[in-house]
Amino acid sequence: MHTMKDEMVKDSDARVAQRRVRRGRVVSGVTLILLGALIIAHNLYPGIRFRDYWPLILIGIGLVLIVRSRN
Query: What contacts 64, CB < 8 A, 6 or more positions away?
Result: 30
> What is the pLDDT at residue 9?
59
45-70 pLDDT, tens digit each: 888 777 777 787 778 877 887 777 76
Residue 1: pLDDT above 60?
no
pLDDT in tens, 32-47: 888 888 788 878 888 8
What mean pLDDT do residues 13-33 have? Answer: 77
- The neighbour count for residue 27, using CB atoms within 10 Å, is 14
pTM above 0.95, yes or no: no
